[in-house]
């Protein structure tokens, strides 16, 4: 995977730039263009995207709720042409601008999930610790960040194991319908939360055994090197953010 060869500082800068571009452009079309550029870049760098859909699948209901609520709201609409009423239901007026705002929120969440996934699977914990050590970050903050990044995929694997174990015991964990899914969720979440508490306890014991807190500074595992490909990617990211800012504030595009 070519993304793993990039300097972690370039990946961090790219991640921050993507988040900045998301909130500069407030129109769903502009954010969809950003999503397409991100996906093309990940595919070109041979980054596996098979883990993105399992992360997005639980959010589908949230996406529907977001679009439903914002469609009948006009508080974030700035352009008069977007106040056009699409339809009326139970006294609530669904506007074009409200629909666009909801779609913008949905696309933003998708981009955040994809960018976070790509960063997590391509960045070793040692590299991230080296950056935090170079920034003189407190040891507790470094441990917090790196543990959070590794905890999410670990818990996802534990959840899959719990689902298989519950299915082997005869639990109906794939039933359709909100009530059935709620009952099945209890059978999954209770052992998952218990497992998370045990993992946190084991992590605390491991940190104590390794002398966590005994020294003021962390040990750097290796030196970070900035190569030509890193400079090219960083330059492309700066151009992308500059273009998004110019289109939004210079030409007035990308606003609802």
Written as tens digits, the pLDDT of the chain (256 aa) is 677 778 888 888 888 899 888 888 888 888 898 899 899 988 888 888 888 887 787 788 888 888 888 877 656 666 666 667 666 766 667 777 778 888 889 999 999 999 988 888 888 777 777 787 777 777 777 777 777 777 777 777 787 788 788 777 776 666 555 555 556 666 777 788 888 888 888 888 877 777 766 666 666 656 677 778 888 888 888 888 888 788 777 777 666 6
176 and 87 housed in the same domain = no
171 and 245 housed in the same domain = no
Sequence-distant (≥ 6) Cβ neighbours of residue 99 within 8 angstroms: 67, 70, 71, 86
**pLDDT at residue 110, rounded to an integer:** 93
167 and 100 housed in the same domain = no
Per-residue tokens: 188: 């999954």
50 and 34 housed in the same domain = yes
Query: Count of CB atoms within 10 A of residue 10's CB?
Result: 18
171 and 62 housed in the same domain = no
C-alpha to C-alpha distances, 178 to 35, 61, 175, 183, nearest whole angstrom: 31, 11, 9, 9
160 and 174 housed in the same domain = yes
Tell me whether residue 216 is in a domain.
yes
User: Residue 195 sits in which domain range?
Assistant: 136-221
Tell me whether residue 140 is in a domain.
yes
40 and 101 housed in the same domain = yes
Tell me whether residue 129 is in a domain.
no
**pLDDT at residue 36, rounded to an integer:** 92
* Pair type for strands 92-95 and 85-89: antiparallel
Tell me whether residue 131 is in a domain.
no
119 and 4 housed in the same domain = yes
247 and 165 housed in the same domain = no
Tell me whether residue 128 is in a domain.
no
24 and 96 housed in the same domain = yes
Tell me whether residue 36 is in a domain.
yes
94 and 210 housed in the same domain = no
Measured distance CA(24)–CA(209) in Å, rounded: 46
**pLDDT at residue 109, rounded to an integer:** 92
**DSSP strands (E only) in 65-175:** 85-89, 92-95
Tell me whether residue 157 is in a domain.
yes
Instruction: Count the domains in the chain.
Output: 2
Tell me whether residue 42 is in a domain.
yes
119 and 170 housed in the same domain = no
Measured distance CA(255)–CA(244) in Å, rounded: 12
């Amino acid at each position: 995977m070519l993304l793993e060869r990039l300097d972690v500082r370039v990946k961090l800068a790219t991640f921050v730039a993507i988040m900045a571009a998301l909130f500069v452009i407030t129109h769903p079309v502009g954010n969809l263009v950003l999503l397409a550029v991100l996906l093309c870049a990940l595919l070109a760098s041979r980054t596996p995207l098979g883990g993105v859909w399992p992360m997005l699948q639980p959010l589908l209901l949230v996406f529907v709720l977001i679009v439903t609520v914002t469609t009948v709201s006009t508080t974030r609409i700035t352009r008069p042409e977007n106040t056009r009423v699409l339809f009326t239901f139970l006294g609530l007026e669904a506007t074009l601008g409200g629909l666009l705002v909801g779609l913008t929120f949905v696309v933003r969440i998708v981009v955040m999930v994809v960018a976070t996934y790509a960063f997590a699977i391509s960045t070793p914990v040692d590299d991230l610790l080296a950056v935090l050590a170079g920034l003189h970050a407190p040891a507790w903050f470094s441990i917090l960040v790196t543990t959070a990044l590794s905890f999410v995929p670990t818990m996802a694997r534990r959840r899959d194991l719990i689902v298989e174990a519950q299915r082997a015991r005869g639990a109906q964990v794939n039933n359709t319908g909100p009530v059935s899914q709620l009952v099945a969720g209890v059978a999954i979440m209770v052992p998952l939360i218990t497992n998370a508490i045990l993992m946190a306890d084991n992590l605390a014991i491991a940190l104590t055994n390794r002398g966590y807190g005994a020294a003021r500074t962390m040990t750097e595992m290796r030196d970070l090197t900035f190569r030509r490909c890193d400079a090219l990617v960083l330059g492309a990211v700066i151009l992308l953010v500059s273009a998004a800012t110019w289109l939004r504030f210079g030409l007035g595009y990308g606003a609802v």
